[in-house]
Amino acid sequence: MSYIALLVVGCVGGSADDSGAPSTGIGALVDPSGESATVGGTAFGFDSASNGKIALFFPGNEGASCGDVARSLSGDETLDPAAITPSGTCSVFVLADYVAPDETTWSDFPASVVMNCAFGDGSWTQSSDCDAGYCYTGDFWTGGPVTFSVTASGGDEADYPWDLTLADGAGQYPYVSFDPIALTGDVAGSGTASWCPEIGQSVYF
């Protein structure tokens, strides 16, 4: 049986369970206009020893399914983005490299963390003017956390206990301009990410 122990700290300049598993905490990020977007605690995960990667995905929509997450990561243009990041929420994607350790080893691994946040009371509408065939009528932000820490363990088709903290955000409103837009706020929570083998069919694996 394989086992993963993951500890990532950084800064930026079982069976598939379609319901996800709730965490013990969430947080919110605030844009310059004072609008806030929450980070939920439902999470899905997948790892592959063959290419040495582990992914954790935290959809803003806590009712999202494993299938929704996999379709989003695969760029499925038929998926309504509200299934992943409805208004007033942020989704968080963590992708890390690892070398599968033994059960007693904890190591630092390089990772990337991408956040997408849909601020305000906007809605997703189909349009050829935006990527993936949908535009958000409010302020849609994309970027990464200024500081973050992620720990996770598990693997071998088992769920992943995790702990996530992140602070602030550095990114842009890509539908408007690429001028830097900073977010403020702290997110801290822990829980269990459901094993989601469909993520392994995405471009990241």
As a whole number of angstroms, the distance between CA 42 and CA 64 comes to 8
Query: Residues 6 or more apart from 205 whose CB is under 8 A from it?
Result: 46, 48, 51, 53, 55, 199
Query: What mean pLDDT comes out for the span 104-110?
Result: 48
pLDDT tens digits, one per residue of 37-64? 999 889 999 988 777 788 999 999 989 9
pLDDT tens digits, one per residue of 163-187? 889 999 999 998 888 899 999 999 9
The alpha-helical segments, DSSP class H, found in the chain are: 66-73
As a whole number of angstroms, the distance between CA 122 and CA 81 comes to 12
Domain residue spans of the chain:
4-201
DSSP 8-state secondary structure symbol assigned to residue 66: H
Query: What mean pLDDT comes out for the span 148-161?
Result: 81
**Structure-block tokens of residue 157:** 């088709």
Instruction: Tell me which residue has tokens 């970027």.
Output: 143
pLDDT at 103 over 60: no
Q: Note the pLDDT of residue 14.
A: 32
Residue 126 neighbours by CB distance under 10 Å: 11
Query: What mean pLDDT comes out for the span 86-101?
Result: 83
This prediction has a pTM of 0.84
Q: Note the pLDDT of residue 59.
A: 95
Q: What sign for the dihedral angle of Cα 158, 161, 167, 168?
A: positive
Confidence of residue 109 (pLDDT cuts 50, 70, 90): low
pLDDT at 22 over 90: no
Of 60-69, 125-134, 140-149, give the lowest mean pLDDT range. Answer: 125-134
